[in-house]
Amino acid sequence: MGNIKTNKDRIFKTAISLFSAKGFRGTSIRDIANAMNISISNIYHHFGNKEGLLVAILEHSSERLVKKLKEVSELDVPPKEKFKKLVETHIRLAGTFTEETKIFFLDEEHLSEEGEKINRNIQRQIYGFYQNVLQELDETGLIRCRSIKVLAFNIFGVINWQLRWYRPEGPLSLDEIIDEMLSFIMNGVFGTTGQNQK
Amino acid sequence: MGNIKTNKDRIFKTAISLFSAKGFRGTSIRDIANAMNISISNIYHHFGNKEGLLVAILEHSSERLVKKLKEVSELDVPPKEKFKKLVETHIRLAGTFTEETKIFFLDEEHLSEEGEKINRNIQRQIYGFYQNVLQELDETGLIRCRSIKVLAFNIFGVINWQLRWYRPEGPLSLDEIIDEMLSFIMNGVFGTTGQNQK
DNA sequence: TCATATATCGAACGTTCGATCTATTGCTGT
DNA sequence: ACAGCAATAGATCGAACGTTCGATATATGA
């Protein structure tokens, strides 16, 4: 036992697939229930309401991402290396858990109260990790930028945009893609200011 | 005359605002009609149905973007300069016509048949401009990349992500932001391979 | 064995949606 | 003045939505 999937788990997984494929608004409670041949009341019993289900997904997937980024943030390594590791971890997680990541960035806005609040909180946490290391890089003169915020958003753009086009069956492996994205970001951030250190 | 706004125009404008603010699915025909105190019949008369209204918006805003990018593409200038101009034009248009641009990239998928087809076609056209110039840069050795596609998508990510966070009332002007984004992209693309040419 | 908590179900509710239908208005050319 | 047509309004439709409810089935604990 322990490997047994409860119905709550299965609802969770199904919802992730459907929300990410058709959007939160585009997926009805009935869609989820029908996809696993149960009654919709089950979902209400386990998650309260539709938004409760979404919030559960958001919290679950963000927890993992935040935990990993925090681990990297606390590494005792030079800032440039830490930054690189941060981006790589971020890209890899976003590329691995495509569906979950899609949900919590594709459906922005459009949710009420709690959903928005939680979403904002997650984003703020993630931004915090980048802000810290970018500030350190800026203060030590390793980068020169007018706005850390814009810089961070540019990075987020590259990372999150992959969710739009990445397909596992594509010609490039995930690792190759990560390589490409990572070097693009590293160049973008350090540019001609950065040294040619390996 | 000529400056007179027809009702059709006003419906168009109102729809752009609402679609971009609350999403296509999140905006009902009634929302649009109520926002301008007319009956929903007007909308059906002028645009056929809800998706017809969306398609009209997509075509209108993409037409402007494609036209501008094409103009730049046909300039007789060195590839690197052309690329820079292409990106700058793209960023500026996306940042200027925020609402329209939002619509045709936020609500991807989720539309049926014609909407999807048109959307795909627009994206393909835009990608084509980048593919051409990136290929030229690659062949002349000015850049070295494994995948032009990934490179282009990274650029799109940076450009389109601004729609998520850019607010005109923010501390930085649009021109400053464009500067930041542009140099990030230029560094990202040419990186340490590029020369330090001014 | 009985009591209680949890899980699941089917039916129904009220609302909102996109769409349609039927009138009525207002302009335009003759 | 009037026919004709586009523009607009209002009422209405069936379908789908999220949600609630009472009933039933299953598991747990005393």
Query: CA-to-C1' distance for B54 and C30, Å?
Result: 40
Triad B145, B150, B155: Cα angle to 5° = 100
B77 domain residue, yes or no = yes
**For chain D, which bases have at least one atom within 7 A of a protein Cβ?**
7-11, 16-22
B162 domain residue, yes or no = yes
Checking if the pLDDT of B4 tops 90, the result is no
**pLDDT tens-digit profile of B16-55?**
999 998 888 889 999 999 999 999 999 999 999 999 999 8
* Residue A198 contacts residue A137 (beta carbons within 8 Å): no
B129 domain residue, yes or no = yes
DSSP letter assigned to residue B111:
S
Based on the structure, what is the number of domains in chain A? Answer: 1
Q: What's the confidence (pLDDT) of residue A109?
A: 56
Cα–Cα distance between A61 and A64 in angstroms, integer? 5
Contacts of A25 in chain B (CB under 8 A): 23, 25-26
Query: CA-to-C1' distance for A137 and D19, Å?
Result: 52
Q: At what angle do helices B114-139 and B148-165 cross, to 10 degrees?
A: 120
Q: What's the confidence (pLDDT) of residue B118?
A: 83
**For chain C, which bases have at least one atom within 7 A of a protein Cβ?**
7-11, 16-22
Which residues constitute the domain of residue B160?
51-195
A32 domain residue, yes or no = no
The CATH number for A98's domain is 1.10.357.10
- Percentage of residues in chain B with pLDDT exceeding 90? 67
B42 domain residue, yes or no = no
Nearest by Cα to A61 from A10, A117, A13:
A13
Q: Which of B154, B181, B196 faces A150 most closely, judged by CB atoms?
A: B181
Q: What is the count of residue pairs from A and B with beta carbons less than 8 Å apart?
A: 116
Q: What's the confidence (pLDDT) of residue B198?
A: 34
- Per the CB < 8 Å rule, is B191 touching A187? yes
Tokens representing A79 are: 């800032």
Q: What's the confidence (pLDDT) of residue B66?
A: 95
A41 domain residue, yes or no = no
User: With bands split at pLDDT 50, 70 and 90, how would you rate the model's confidence at A120?
Assistant: confident
Q: What's the confidence (pLDDT) of residue B1?
A: 36
**pLDDT tens-digit profile of A172-188?**
999 999 999 999 999 99
A93 domain residue, yes or no = yes
Q: Which of A25, A147, A161 faces B172 most closely, judged by CB atoms?
A: A147
Say how many CA atoms lie within 13 Å of A25 toward its Cβ: 18
Which region among A26-40, A96-110, B68-82, B86-100 has the lowest average model confidence (pLDDT)?
A96-110
**pLDDT tens-digit profile of B164-188?**
888 889 999 999 999 999 999 999 9
Tokens representing B198 are: 């001014």
Which 125-184 residues of chain A touch chain B by CB within 8 A?
A: 145-147, 150-151, 153-154, 156-162, 164-165, 172, 176-177, 179-181, 183-184
Contacts of B172 in chain A (CB under 8 A): 146-147, 150
Q: What's the confidence (pLDDT) of residue B119?
A: 82
Which region among A84-98, A99-113, B90-104 has the lowest average model confidence (pLDDT)?
A99-113
Q: What's the confidence (pLDDT) of residue B106?
A: 66
Q: Does residue A44 approach strand D to less than 7 Å at its CB?
A: yes
B138 domain residue, yes or no = yes
Q: What's the confidence (pLDDT) of residue B112?
A: 62
Tokens representing A174 are: 């995930």
DSSP letter assigned to residue B172:
S
Query: CA-to-C1' distance for A32 and C10, Å?
Result: 17
**pLDDT tens-digit profile of B58-84?**
999 899 999 999 999 999 999 999 999
Query: CA-to-C1' distance for B30 and D4, Å?
Result: 30
